[in-house]
Structure 1
């Protein structure tokens, strides 16, 4: 089955799919976002940081790769003193990792669902200061390009764009969905997982089309 046919199970066109995804985020639910087949060709489970719960974090860690990332704009990264992980980024898609973080207080080792959510809420809070976080840690911030998916068609930018368009703080949480054998989930597996857990699937192409159509 083609990519478009699979995605039509979640909405007849890009506009409808993205609107449904935004409604899901506003309701505190997770969504799945797939990128292009000639890029990573993977699906990420995404939540808005503002609404994500400890239970949702535990679900994400169980079902996904375990490398949970919190995606922010550059101004947020600077405000929290999040320096880039490397000065010369040679990764294939230029994924913009900063230093990893944990919450400075009220946590154990930092790896539990409780502790990771604590770090995420600190990152999301506009009143947080650099000293509210410690490094290294178990949460991996990613810095989105200012132009969002118009500038870079990655999951990092998609998560921030989606949170913003949903009227929430522009901070997203993502993790790559895995297949039972530990390999990365491709579109058919992503769609089957979404149907099992009553989630919406959109593509980054859908989001680009939505932003162009709505001029947002």
Structure 2
């Protein structure tokens, strides 16, 4: 009787963990997107991640068209403090503690804020070095999330994996992510994510790959 394939088994077509990391980092370095999957005993989901400082309107349209449509902007804590973006709620009771802040919109250069172009404008505004709190309206159609300062050692989430990949690729510590869904509206699990990655020529890497690499480096 055939046994269901494990995470590692399904991901093996994309190479070893080290090769998967290298491919993902190179794609991020070039301004492209990657799929990051978490543990099968956690959310067991995959997010498409792009570097925020390179996101294009076409890439944003792809996220809106093929994913959940909830486009998130991942930022470090110090950046969110500078922009005066407080937590969405005072007491976070989310199952995995995802640290959403209030949602945002660029004050200028957008219409309704919903279009791909408007969301890119909002992201570019928020990550600009000279952005001030008053440059962002609240609420809006882009959802910032605070990355745990302790990184993947503190929280094995897509949020922390996003910042980890940006650092590895030498990009600004800011990323855009959106969860991959199936056409029928259900969440894509690993078999569907692998097929999606192949169809759209996206590297795929797991949070376990990234966390394991950090552990190896710490004992080397």
Same-fold call, TM cutoff 0.5: yes
Mapping 1:83-162, distance limit 5 Å = 83-162=86-165
- The aligned counterpart of 2:7 is 3
Contact 2:80 2:146 in 1 (8 A): yes
Distance, in Å, in 1 between the alignment partners of 2:120 and 2:42 is 29
Q: Show the 5 A alignment for 1:24-43.
A: 24-43=27-46
Residue 81 of structure 1: which of 68, 81, 84 is its match?
A: 84
Q: 2 CA distance for matches of 1:26 and 1:58?
A: 21
Q: Distance in 1 between matches of 2:119 and 2:128?
A: 14
* TM-score for the superposition, normalised by structure 1: 0.97
Structure 2 gaps, min length 5:
none
Is the 1:15–1:209 contact (alpha carbons within 8 Å) kept by the matching residues of 2?
no
1:61 Cα offset (Å): 0.4
Contact 1:144–1:157 (CA under 8 A) maintained in structure 2? yes
Aligned alpha-carbon RMSD (Å) = 0.9
Deviation at 1:211, TM superposition (A): 2.4
Q: Secondary structure at the match of 2:198?
A: helix
**Conserved? CA contact 1:149–1:208, under 8 Å:** yes
1:38-49 to 2 correspondences below 5 Å: 38-49=41-52
Compute the displacement of 1:69 (Å).
0.3
Match of 2:58 among 55, 58, 61: 55
Once the two structures are superposed, residues 175-214 of structure 1 have per-residue CA deviations (whole angstroms, 9 ceiling, x without a partner) of 1100111000000000100000111111100011122334
Within a 5 Å distance, the mapping from 1:172-211 to structure 2 comes to 172-211=175-214
Q: Tell me, in whole angstroms, the C-alpha distance in 2 between the residues paired with 1:123 and 1:213.
A: 35
Tell me how far apart the structure 1 counterparts of residues 117 and 105 of structure 2 sit (CA, whole Å).
Answer: 11
**Mapped partners of 1:18, 1:124: distance in 2:** 25
Q: Secondary structure at the match of 1:135?
A: strand
Match of 2:24 in 1: 21
Count of equivalent residues:
214
Tell me which structure has the larger Cα radius of gyration: 2
| Selected match of 1:169 from 143, 163, 172 | 172
Question: In structure 2, how many angstroms separate the alpha carbons of the residues matched to 1:121 and 1:209?
Answer: 32
Distance 1:127 1:212, change over 3 A: farther
Residues in 2 aligned to 1:24 and 1:211: alpha-carbon distance in whole angstroms: 20
1: distance between equivalents of 2:104 and 2:96? 22
| Structure 1: 5+ residue stretches without partners | none
